[in-house]
């Protein structure tokens, strides 16, 4: 069960965020409303939400998931692969927020790069995608830290997706949403795979929260498949974040 969540309010500079999508620039006012609705949905799942203020110097800083991995034993500050995001991992208010919940905080060091959007937690085991943002050295450091704390990790080769969790979402109870290249990845053969069509690939980025699954708005087939498994579904519009390669999981740290 998750007890706590950390989010960061989007900044007025959000329209300058990194993107590979060809969907125009996000509109700040709309992004703000969508963020408020996202926090409201999280609150419905029974967690305590810590809201950090906007950081105008960092257009992507609302995507807090990438800068830290929150485990049951420790928090690990990452070293983002995107140069423009590297200093986000050292923002004092994030460190302060994590220190309220964790006695132990570990760090990924140069030359390792890793963004936690590439890390999927399944119990005490962590799948780490090797992407344009996460290199082998970063993954090795992360696995060493996890093992030091009695947890485990493994690397997953990737070719297509921006982040591992762009195309995967673990919904607990061995249920795994899979899209694109991960449908046939051998690492996930033993899961009950719920396949997401290419037309709804963005909808693969959902989050399980204490028996609820938060699903992005506009992906009815994904929503239907999740409801058919018996989960309570909360739908949140993240269309402004999609414009800068962001989804539901990117917007929060959950632990």
Query: Residues near 74 by Cβ (< 8 Å), separated by ≥ 6?
Result: 102, 104, 105, 106, 145, 149
Question: pLDDT band for position 62 (50/70/90)?
Answer: very high
Looking only at the bridges linking them, the beta strands covering 168-170 and 175-179 are antiparallel
Q: Are 209 and 129 in contact (CB under 8 A)?
A: no
Q: Reduce the DSSP state of residue 246 to 3 states and report it.
A: coil
Number of domains in the chain: 1
For residue 33, give the CATH number of its domain.
3.75.10.10
Is this model's pTM higher than 0.75 or not?
yes
From 70, 74, 206, 250, active-site residue: 250
Average pLDDT over residues 64-85: 97
For 179-192, the pLDDT digits (tens) are 999 999 999 999 99
pLDDT above 90 (res 18): no
Q: pLDDT tens, 114-152?
A: 999 999 999 999 999 999 999 999 999 999 999 999 999
First CA to last CA across the chain, in angstroms?
8
**CA–CA separation, 200 and 69 (whole Å):** 27
Burial class, 49, CB count within 10 angstroms (exposed 0-12 / middle 13-18 / buried 19+): middle
Matching residue, tokens 């609302």? 62
**pLDDT of 22 higher than 80:** no
Give the tens place of pLDDT for each residue, 27-57. Answer: 999 999 999 999 999 999 999 999 999 999 9
Catalytic option among 62, 70, 74, 163: 163
Would you state the pLDDT for residue 116?
98
| Cross-strand pairs, 236 | 216
Residue-wise pLDDT for 204-249, tens only, equals 999 999 999 999 999 999 999 999 999 999 999 999 999 999 999 9
Q: Tokens standing for 4?
A: 């706590």
Band the pLDDT of 23: cuts 50, 70, 90: confident
Q: What is the pLDDT of residue 56?
A: 97
**Residues spanned by the domain of 218:** 4-254
Q: pLDDT value at position 238? A: 98
Across the chain, what does the average pLDDT equal? 97
Structure tokens at 69: 């991995």
In the annotation, is 163 catalytic? yes
Residue 147 Cα distances to 69, 128, 150, 173, angstroms: 14, 14, 5, 24
125 given a catalytic annotation:
no
- Report whether pLDDT(21) > 80: no
Going by the DSSP 8-state scheme, the letter that residue 123 receives in this structure is T
Length of the chain: 255
> Using 50, 70 and 90 to split pLDDT, how confident is the model at 88?
very high
Q: What is the pLDDT of residue 20?
A: 79
Tell me the C-alpha distance between 243 and 26, whole Å. 6
Strands 168-170 and 48-52: unpaired
């Amino acid at each position: 069960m998750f007890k706590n969540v950390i989010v960061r309010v989007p900044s007025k500079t959000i329209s300058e965020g990194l993107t590979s999508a060809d969907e125009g620039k996000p509109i700040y006012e709309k992004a703000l409303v969508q963020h408020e609705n996202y926090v409201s949905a999280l609150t419905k799942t029974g967690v305590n939400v810590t809201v950090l203020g906007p950081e105008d110097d960092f257009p992507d800083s609302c995507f807090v998931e990438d800068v830290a991995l929150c485990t049951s034993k420790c928090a690990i500050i990452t070293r983002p692969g995107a140069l423009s995001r590297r200093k986000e991992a050292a923002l004092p208010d994030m460190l302060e927020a994590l220190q309220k919940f964790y006695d132990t905080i570990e760090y990924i060091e140069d030359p390792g790069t890793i963004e936690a959007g590439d890390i999927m937690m399944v119990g005490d085991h962590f799948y780490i995608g090797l992407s344009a943002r996460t290199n082998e050295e970063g993954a090795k450091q992360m696995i060493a830290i996890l093992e030091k704390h009695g947890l485990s990790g493994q690397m997953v080769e990737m070719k297509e997706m921006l982040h591992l969790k762009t195309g995967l979402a673990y919904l607990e109870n061995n249920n795994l949403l899979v899209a694109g290249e991960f449908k046939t990845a051998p690492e996930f053969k033993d899961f009950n795979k719920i396949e997401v069509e290419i037309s709804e690939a963005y909808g693969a980025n959902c989050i399980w929260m204490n028996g609820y699954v938060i699903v992005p708005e506009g992906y009815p087939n994904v929503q239907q498949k999740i409801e058919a498994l018996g989960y309570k579904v909360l739908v949140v519009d993240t269309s402004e974040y999609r414009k800068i390669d962001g989804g539901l999981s990117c917007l929060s740290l959950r632990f």
